[in-house]
Every structure is written in C-alpha cells, then in structure tokens.
Amino acid sequence: EAKRQRDGEPKRFCSALEQKLEEQLTLERELRIAIDSGALSLHLQPQVGAQQEVIGAEALVRWLHPQQGMISPGRFIPIAEQTGLILPLGAWVLKEGCRLLGEWQYDPRLRDLKLSLNVSVRQFQQPSFVEQVISTLRDTSAPPERLTLELTESLLMSDPEGTIDKMLRLRQLGIRFALDDFGTGYSSLAYLKSLPLDTLKIDIAFVKDLTLDMQATPIAATIIALAESLGLDVVAEGVETADQCTVLAHLGCHVYQGYYFGKPVPAAEFTRLNSASSFIAS
Ligand code: C2E
Ligand code: MG
Ligand code: MG
Ligand code: MG
C-alpha cells in the first residue's frame, strides 16, 4: 500500500514497525490458545527469613511456547495487559496458586509456607475480583491466611477508593497484601499510609547497588525505615550476594528473595524440595 511505496527511511521504519506489530499479533493469538491449553505454568521462587529458612514463595508465571521454548513474563504480560488476556491469565494464576496452597496443607512442612501471587491492575479492577478470589479459595480449600497478593503502585493511583474497598474485603478473609517493586512508582507517602498493606517489596534496582562499604544504601535504607514506621514488613527482591544480604540485615530487612537463595523453579520441584519427606531424607 501507500506506505510501502515511499522511498528511504520512512519505508524501512514502517516495515520494522509492521514486523513488530505482526509479531505481537501472533504472540497474542498464541497466548490466547496457551491459556486454555495448559501451556502456562508457575515457577516458585523461595522467600527466606533471618535464618535463611524458607518461609514462602512468589509464584511467577511461565509460558512454554511450542517453537520459542520458555517465554518470560516480561514479554507476554504487557501483551496480556493490552489485550485483556490478563483476565483469563490472572484467573488461571490465581487458581493454580490456590490449588498449590490447598495441596500443601497435607504436608507438615509445606503447610506453614506463604504463597505470593502477582495481580495486575486490570485483574484487580474487575468488579467481580473479590468474588473470584472467594470462589477460588473455596474450590481449592486454600487457606486464605497463607495467600499474599502483590499489587503495584499504579493500581493504587488509578482507583484509590475502589482499591482500598476491595483490599479491606479480602483482608477480612485473612489475605495479605504486598506492594511490589516499591520505590519505582510515584505513590505519595500520605496515601501509602492509608492503604491496608502488610508488606513493601524493595525493588531489585535498589538492592543491586548494595555493597559492604554501605555506599549507595540511602534508598534501601529509606524504604526499610519507612516500612518500619508504617508497621509494615519488608522483603528485599533480587538479592544475589551474601554482602547484599548482610547490608540489608544491618539496615533492618530480614526477609529476602533472590538468586542468592534460589532461582524460580517449577512448582513441583519447589514442593518436592521443601516437603517434609525431603527434609527427613536430607
Ligand atoms: P516481579 O513480581 O517483581 O518478580 C520478580 C522478578 O525478578 C522475577 O522475574 C524474578 O525471576 C526476578 N528475580 C528474582 N530474583 C532475582 C535476582 O536475584 N536477580 C535478578 N536479576 N532477577 C531476579 P520474572 O519471573 O521474569 O517476572 C517478571 C515480572 O513479570 C514480575 O516482576 C511481575 O511483575 C510479572 N509477573 C510474573 N508472573 C506474573 C503473574 O502471574 N501475573 C502478573 N500479573 N504478573 C506476573
Ligand atoms: Mg512480584
Ligand atoms: Mg517485584
Ligand atoms: Mg518487577
């Protein structure tokens, strides 16, 4: 068509853009199928406490693509959010996460672990979200007090009242809330105070720079102090070294998640590694 017939830069630009769009459309079509066909799975990454003991896990969705292999959420969550596929995808994650929590109740070691699920803005803003969670908990016999939902600052800014209302209703069931990637958004401190949160997760960006010489600690230190003054727990994300862990402990953060303690692994592997039978065997 007309655009293709132009000479020089614009033509190259258009075809690169077209190619990108084409790829996105293909991925969207394939994702739609993947959600219904069992191609999604949850990987679990351990969260550890002060004694480096596993206290829970965060569930991270993966897509096993027939040609491309394992695709990370950084590539398909944005597409899912743009197209509305995040609703069936999020429902699947909720169901699968709760199914795991239900299953864990039969194991004396797994039953005390917490599970965190990431919830997208659009997913949380569905009018029926609270009912969806209630019916999923019922269907799976998952204990609500073991479930944490990770929200992002953008949600809290786009619909404060609706968000707080839903959070309070879910909290009555025993569900907890963590604010993910904290420090990368723009939530006001006054507003933060009014939210029924339990946990702040320090974004990986502020953990990356931590070294024993205690330089570059101000942001992490500020977030930890803020959490303390608001009475919130704090989890450090992306902990990769013993030194980062030492500095975080010194600053007052005692729950960690990161490659240093464990990469995300398939849920079945996490379950096996942390079950009572594996504990006795090891
Ligand atoms: P997030 O919720 O902040 O998850 C943490 C991300 O950091 C994960 O990436 C995890 O694999 C990675 N990570 C953990 N420890 C380390 C470390 O020590 N070093 C480094 N470099 N990275 C580390 P992943 O699995 O690729 O997920 C990316 C993002 O995709 C998540 O960020 C979350 O925003 C989104 N996501 C993942 N699963 C879901 C889901 O089920 N639903 C929704 N809505 N979003 C999801
Ligand atoms: Mg998260
Ligand atoms: Mg995060
Ligand atoms: Mg993130």
Give the pLDDT score at 2. Answer: 47
Atom of ligand 1 nearest to the CA of 90: 42
Give the pLDDT score at 10. Answer: 57
Confidence of residue 277 (pLDDT cuts 50, 70, 90): confident
SS3 content of the chain, % helix, strand, coil (to 5): 55, 20, 30
Q: 62, 96, 66, 93: which is closest to 76 by C-alpha?
A: 62
Mean pLDDT of 194-223: 87
Atom of ligand 1 nearest to the CA of 264: 11
Ligand showing the shortest atom-to-Cα distance for residue 178: 2
Q: What is the 3-state secondary structure (H, E, C) of 29-49?
A: HHHHHHHHCCCEEEEEEEEEC
Mean pLDDT of 77-99: 97
Is the pLDDT at 201 greater than 60? The verdict is yes
Q: 194, 196, 156: which is closest to 172 by C-alpha?
A: 196
Tell how strand 265-266 and strand 40-48 pair up.
antiparallel
The 10 Å CB-count burial string (b at 16+, else e) for 216-227 is ebebbbebbebb
Strands (E), the chain: 40-48, 54-65, 69-71, 114-118, 147-151, 176-182, 199-202, 233-236, 255-256, 265-266
Query: Which amino acid does the sequence have at 130?
Result: V
Percent of the chain with pLDDT over 90: 77
Confidence of residue 7 (pLDDT cuts 50, 70, 90): low
Tokens of 237: 């994300």
Mutate to test the pocket of ligand 1, among 43, 45, 60 (most ligand atoms within 8 A of CB): 60
Report the distance separating Cα 253 and Cα 237, nearest Å: 11
Mutate to test the pocket of ligand 1, among 79, 83, 118 (most ligand atoms within 8 A of CB): 118
Q: How far is the CA of 257 from the centre of ligand 3 (A)?
A: 10
Give the pLDDT score at 11. Answer: 57
Are 205 and 182 in contact by the 8 Å Cβ rule? The answer is no
Number of Cβ within 10 Å of residue 75's Cβ equals 13
ipTM of the prediction greater than 0.90, yes or no: yes
Q: How far is the CA of 244 from the centre of ligand 1 (A)?
A: 19
Q: How far is the CA of 181 from the centre of ligand 4 (A)?
A: 6
Is the pLDDT at 110 greater than 70? The verdict is yes
| Minimal-distance CA residue to ligand 1 atom 30 | 73
Residues at Cβ < 5 Å from ligand 3 ion = 180-181, 237
Confidence of residue 186 (pLDDT cuts 50, 70, 90): confident
| Minimal-distance CA residue to ligand 1 atom 19 | 238
Confidence of residue 12 (pLDDT cuts 50, 70, 90): low
Q: 27, 84, 83, 55: which is closest to 176 by C-alpha?
A: 55
Q: How far is the CA of 31 from the centre of ligand 4 (A)?
A: 21
Percent of the chain with pLDDT over 70: 93
Q: How far is the CA of 13 from the centre of ligand 1 (A)?
A: 32
Q: How far is the CA of 203 from the centre of ligand 4 (A)?
A: 7
Contacts of 158 (CB under 8 A, 6+ apart): 121, 125
Mean pLDDT of 90-105: 98
Q: How do residues 125-178 score in pLDDT, each as one tens digit?
A: 999 999 999 999 999 999 999 999 999 988 877 888 899 999 999 999 999 999
Report the distance separating Cα 24 and Cα 11, nearest Å: 20
Are 192 and 232 in contact by the 8 Å Cβ rule? The answer is no
Give the pLDDT score at 278. Answer: 81
Q: What value does the mean pLDDT of the chain take?
A: 91
| Minimal-distance CA residue to ligand 1 atom 37 | 60
| Ligand 1 pocket check for 120: Cβ under 6 Å | yes
Report the distance separating Cα 123 and Cα 103, nearest Å: 25
Confidence of residue 13 (pLDDT cuts 50, 70, 90): low
Give the pLDDT score at 280. Answer: 60
How many degrees, rounded to 5, is the angle at CA 145 between CA 172 and CA 57? 135
